[in-house]
């Protein structure tokens, strides 16, 4: 009986030791969202400036360098024009908001519909504490995140007067 009790205590201690090396509920991720998405323009006129803002929130449990591109595409996913690109670094639980302006020039006449897309790619810096424990990489971990919205072209009515 004495050996069974000692063996049970050793098993419980070994179980607790292994359990202490398992990170609890950690799922690293990056949030990318458009600010005030309900006020985004659905319809645009040529040669008029429109703007929006997007935010990136780092929940990766480590510093991350983010590279972003903002582009406009037509319905066939053909690049119409590049709006902006850049990079920035965020520590864990920091947020960065970037404001963008875009204009559909006259050369894009009759584009009908366009997709404004923000794509960020992540470069992890260093190694967080939880990865030193019993941790294996997620094969589905995304290295880039994107968000987009659509705009439709408004063609103003023109009146043509023809003399008889």
pTM higher than 0.85, yes or no? no
Nearest residue to 98 (alpha-carbon basis) of 60, 63, 67: 67
pLDDT band of residue 29 (cuts 50, 70, 90) is confident
- For residue 119, list its beta bridge partners: 69, 146
Nearest residue to 31 (alpha-carbon basis) of 86, 97, 83: 97
Q: Average pLDDT, stretch 108-127? A: 88
Q: List all residues 6 or more positions away from 65 whose beta carbon is below 8 Å from its beta carbon.
A: 87, 88, 89, 122, 123, 125
pLDDT over 90 percentage in the chain: 47
Within a 10 A sphere around the Cβ of 159, how many other Cβ atoms? 4
Domains of the chain with CATH codes? 27-153 (2.60.40.10)
């Amino acid at each position: 009986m004495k050996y069974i009790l000692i063996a049970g205590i050793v098993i419980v201690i070994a179980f607790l030791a292994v359990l202490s090396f398992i990170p609890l509920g950690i799922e690293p991720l990056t949030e990318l969202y458009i600010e005030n998405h309900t006020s985004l323009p659905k319809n645009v006129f040529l040669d008029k400036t429109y703007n929006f803002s997007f935010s990136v929130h780092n929940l990766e449990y480590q510093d991350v360098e983010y590279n972003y591109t903002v582009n406009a595409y037509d319905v066939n996913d053909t690049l119409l024009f590049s709006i902006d690109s850049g990079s920035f670094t965020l520590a864990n639980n920091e947020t960065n908001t970037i404001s963008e302006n875009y204009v559909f020039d006259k050369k894009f006449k009759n584009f009908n519909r366009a997709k404004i897309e923000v794509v960020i790619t992540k470069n992890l810096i260093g190694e967080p504490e939880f990865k030193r424990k019993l941790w294996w990489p997620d094969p589905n971990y995304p290295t880039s995140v994107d968000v987009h919205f659509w705009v439709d072209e408004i063609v103003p009515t023109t009146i043509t007067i023809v003399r008889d």
